[in-house]
Amino acid sequence: MASNISLEDIKNETVDLERIPIEEVFEQLKCSKGGLTQDEGEKRLQIFGPNKLEEKKESKLLKFLGFMWNPLSWVMEAAAIMAIVLANGGGRPPDWQDFVGIVVLLIINSTISFIEENNAGNAAAALMAGLAPKTKVLRDGKWSEEEAAILVPGDVISIKLGDIVPADARLLEGDPLKIDQSALTGESLPVTKHPGEEVFSGSTCKQGEIEAVVIATGVHTFFGKAAHLVDSTNQVGHFQKVLTAIGNFCICSIAVGMVIEILVMYFIQHRPYREGIDNLLVLLIGGIPIAMPTVLSVTMAIGSHRLSEQGAITKRMTAIEEMAGMDVLCSDKTGTLTLNKLTVDKTLIEVFPKNMDRDSVLLFAAMASRVENQDAIDASIVGMLGDPKEARAGITEVHFFPFNPVDKRTAITYIDTDGNWHRASKGAPEQIIDLCELKGEARNKAHTVIDNFAERGLRSLGVARQTIPEKTKESAGGPWEFVGLLPLFDPPRHDSAETIRRALELGVNVKMITGDQLAIGKETGRRLGMGTNMYPSSSLLGQSKDESVASIPVDELIEKADGFAGVFPEHKYEIVKKLQERKHICGMTGDGVNDAPALKKADIGIAVADATDAARSASDIVLTEPGLSVIVSAVLTSRAIFQRMKNYTIYAVSITIRIVLGFMLVSLIWKFDFSPFMVLIIAILNDGTIMTISKDRVKPSPVPDSWKLKEIFATGVVLGAYMAIMTVIFFYLAHDTHFFSKTFGVEPIAESPADLNSALYLQVTFIAAQLVATVLAVYAEWEFARIRGIGWGWAGAIWIFSIITYIPLDILKFIIRYALTGKAWDNLLENKTAFTTKKDYGKGEREAQWATAQRTLHGLQPPDAIFNEKSSHQQLSEIAEQAKKRAEVARLRELHTLKGHVDSVVKLKGLDIETIQQHYTV
């Protein structure tokens, strides 16, 4: 039959390699236990493809052209067509110089965006390549370490403790393995895999060493199929929607200006056709913020590079903007908040014999542990000793009894320095209690301690010892003595508590999402100071046994909770979905294939260090360092980047309004005609200088950022209108008066349209671009552009005029920003200190907003806003009084929680509660 099966059939999965006998696997794959030859491996690589997830590769040409395919570019492209199709009347040729200039501008912007994004992508790809897994493979009869991507069905690989299984494989002869499949199946405990059984790509070997034959690679693995099911389509992101809204605002503003110009110029003033087209082109070219996508892309690309230096690889650049606004972070517990490494809490070890101390109990447990090829429990106990060699110091090991699912304990038979024989054992508490035949008070005490440990989320481990008078390893020995109980837990990372505190200060609410038991989640939350308001996963389905919890709507419960326990991957997806429905910008951390849907659904999917390829593929950001501290650093960096982008968008809106309103008024009031080419030069110079904003020094916001379009549009319109009026005033002074001649002693230019063009062009350029613009205005003699050099006298006068008119801009910004909050006027009228520098009113407003959000999250006030923009001072005072009452309620809740902690410690330590209550009151 084997002769009828080809490798193509294997690739198409027509053969069930998972279930057939292992001998038939070799027969079907046409290989042996000696592995493949290098040549055969390369041939099969051509058939099966690389052993990694498929990556969609976009054509660089299409990617480059994509930067010219957006609403802003469409308007500029329309202007280019208009320059050669419509601008050909009045006996003049088509406007080729404007056409060429517009095309050059489009190419410049697209090239800069393409280069920066490509560089950021290359940097991320290089860092991702450094995370590529390695494996030991048998080729040409020799073992060598190779990249897992070269594996093909038929390869023989070696799997040992700590290895990530690189492909689906069948185990060959050897001892059973302990395999952690939690990243794939959600199983929290390692499973035992015997020779002949299948192991899945992406799982981790926790104990043992064995060889295996590869049966599936890449997208054909269980891992690959699960990852392939994750929808990889790109949804329209939050940032893209904002960009579209700002672009549409600018386009609509230009459209209104053009309609007014057409009606007035052609139907009222009866201006010549060609001059009218030129004036319309001025609005189109000068008003469109064509560089906006480029500037924002460059800003995010530079930010992406900075994030990669901090250990966060950005796969989707717009995730930077979304991270700046993130207000909820759903974090894994194991490995992210904690070390994913069991530890013994030495201070809570319970000792039973009176002549023994905690160190002795720990030493007996270490004796009953392996010192090599350890599992997690053995490693945690031996690791608590000052020197791991102490576990075998002064004794001779006779026999070690390994853990098995039936006995649920380990044991060692040893000889001490006096030649006496002993045994030590550790294992499941009930097994050890039964082994020692504990009765009466001792048995009750052991169960009480176990229950107290469980209430605090600590796992218990029993320890016992025995003497062997017969001095043979087969003998039953004397009675077992119960030595003590060890509490095991996964300790928090050293920086987790501080990181969570910083996150809360930044307005990011951290929720723990764990598959562990509820008690363990609460204990970790208590140690980290992140709250113990946690619920089991059943509450997500409205099935909580607690009636007070069951009565709360699920989405409200998710918003108020500090975390959830016993969670499966599908629950993670639901948590993210509900938080997004309540208008939160949600981040989610994950590491397994089953986390991929939630990572994809989240606004910011974060694959933690050592995550599977599927999790990395579905995520927006990949961490290269363990823990949450990297995320907090990334949040601060993202907020700084956001501030730069926000500053630019305000500038872009203001320039649109300035050009449209200013040039339209000058054109209609004085019937003055402009050169589109010079506005094009202005656009190129302004865009070039404004790109430096991507490295501007800014202060990150202390609270989550958001695109307040109302504020952006209002600020842009007011600033733009102010600058447009200054342009009109300047033109009036230069055209209708002798103000500049009398004040600065310059020659009048009222009778020279070319001189007026030069002066007006210099006045409307952005200050940073005026260095170049000044040279052009002084010396340029461009007849086709209708400008002529006006000399250094006029250049100096225009500089002075521009500097004076720019001074009020900060005052205008203040008025706009605080007028929108409704607070500045109260400060101005009641306190008369709004314009002083002694108090940062902006900071107070931001802190008030964040405090409101936090009170809402923790149920201290209804989610609907309790004050609005029109609230009076008296209303705000009443609200403050209500807040004080709520704060008192919150304080009582905290005291109640503290009392619960005191009671649990008292119970755990067996203290006299009556005596304590006589001296201390909570």
Active site residues: 332
Contacts 24+ apart (CB under 8 A), 807-814: 808/722, 809/719, 809/722, 812/718, 812/719, 812/722, 813/715, 813/719
- Report residue 124 as tokens: 């991320």
* Calpha distance 362→347 (Å, rounded): 11
- Report residue 613 as tokens: 């390829």
Sign of the torsion angle spanned by Cα atoms 447, 411, 378, 190 = negative
| Other CB atoms within 10 Å distance of the CB of residue 668 | 18
Question: Are the C-beta atoms of residues 687 and 109 closer than 8 Å to each other?
Answer: yes
Angle, vertex CA 698, rays to CA 696 and CA 700, nearest 5: 140
* Calpha distance 397→880 (Å, rounded): 71
Task: Identify residue 115 by its one-letter amino acid code.
Answer: I
> Half-sphere exposure of 549 toward its Cβ, with a 13 Å CA cutoff?
19
The DSSP bridge pattern shows strands 168-171 and 198-199 to be: antiparallel
* Calpha distance 741→797 (Å, rounded): 10
* Calpha distance 696→707 (Å, rounded): 19
Question: Are the C-beta atoms of residues 669 and 734 closer than 8 Å to each other?
Answer: no
Residue 842: left if φ>0, alpha if ψ -120 to 50, beta else—which one?
alpha
The residues that bridge with 314 in the sheet, in sequence order, are 621
* Calpha distance 604→616 (Å, rounded): 12
Residue 186 phi, psi dihedral angles, 5° rounding = 85, 0
Question: Are the C-beta atoms of residues 318 and 240 closer than 8 Å to each other?
Answer: yes
* Calpha distance 763→754 (Å, rounded): 14
Residue 230: left if φ>0, alpha if ψ -120 to 50, beta else—which one?
beta
The helix (H) or strand (E) run that includes residue 693 is none
Q: What is the DSSP string of 116-158?
A: HHHHHHHHHHHHHHTT--EEEEEETTEEEEEEGGG--TT-EEE
* Calpha distance 307→870 (Å, rounded): 41
Q: Which of 253, 67, 40 is nearest to 138 (CA)?
A: 40
The helix (H) or strand (E) run that includes residue 422 is strand 421-427
The shares of helix, strand and coil residues in the chain, as percent rounded to the nearest 5, are: 55, 15, 30
* Calpha distance 852→848 (Å, rounded): 6
Residue 180: left if φ>0, alpha if ψ -120 to 50, beta else—which one?
beta
**SS3 sequence, 725-742?**
HHHHHHHHHHHHCCHHHH
The residues that bridge with 210 in the sheet, in sequence order, are 159
- Report residue 636 as tokens: 């601060």
* Calpha distance 325→270 (Å, rounded): 52
* Calpha distance 193→209 (Å, rounded): 11
Sequence length of the chain is 922
* Calpha distance 39→325 (Å, rounded): 53
The Cα-based distances of 644 to 20, 538, 700 in angstroms read 61, 44, 10
